[in-house]
Homo-oligomer: A and B are copies of this chain.
Amino acid sequence: MPAEPLARSPAPPDAVLRRLSGYAPLSPDDEALLRRITARPVPVPARTELVRDGEATPRPQVLLEGWACRQRLLADGRRQIVVVLLPGDLIGLSQRRRPLPFGSVATLTTAQVCEVGPLRDCVSWGDGPPGTSLSGTGLPGSGLAAALWQARETEELWLVNQVVRLGRQTAYERVAHFLLELRERLAAVDRVQDERFSFPITQEVLADALGLSVVHMNRTMQQLRRDGLIEQRATAITLRDVPALASIADYTGARTF
């Protein structure tokens, strides 16, 4: 921990480290590498494009502070946010043989971002679950590679959740489900206190994430407030009744099962 009395309140040390160590035990070397790599974050304003759509070889980056999203725009201007990215999330780690229209990545708020090219070079993904290295043990490997693998699996889970929300849930259910997912993800990087967390996005963004119009988004949020399920003040939100929300949303977190 730094000795200087930096009074920045929203700076729980190193979101990435927290995230990844939650997936697999990291060796001191792994931790040192991560700390070194993320030592020089760069401030980025809101609405900045971090990865262009169709880039085959995006620069590997990590989001240390602030929110971002992966999104796709339709020709007529409609926007769908595919997934919201939170502190500790990795961006552009996987390269492809062919450019694919995965959508662009852009910041939603001012953010702290860090290039982590070394992660791509230093880490052998071969240690991830399907690899040979540890297949003898029958268990996924440990260390940075395993954690990165698990992070990728988790990202896929978010996509599945998003599909279910958009395909088969009502507006009310969608918001509840989405809030619970955010809560779980933010808790993993120590950003939830008493079911309360920072919520720095506009209803327009929320609407684009959940496939709704701004107006309906607004009315749905009001309903949740009236029902005593959430409470919103300034740029923070409190989930007043997590079990009720979970029941409404049919929420199955990553830890359940």
Contacts and interface: CB of A to CB of B under 8 A. Distances in A.
Interface of A: 23-24, 54, 70, 72, 74-76, 78-80, 82, 93-103, 120-132, 135, 139-140, 146, 150, 153-154, 156-157, 159-160, 162-164, 166-169, 210-211, 250, 252, 254-257
Contacts of A169: 74
B129 A123 contact: no
Q: Which 6 A-B pairs have the closest CB atoms?
A: A126-B126, A167-B211, A166-B166, A80-B167, A80-B168, A159-B159
A206 to B, nearest CB: 12
Given A162-B163, A166-B166, A96 B153 contact: yes
Nearest to A71: B164
7 contacts: A54-B257, A72-B164, A80-B168, A95-B129, A97-B140, A100-B153, A101-B252
A100 B167 CA distance: 20
Given A159-B163, A160-B159, A163-B163, A257 B101 contact: yes
A203 B121 CA distance: 47
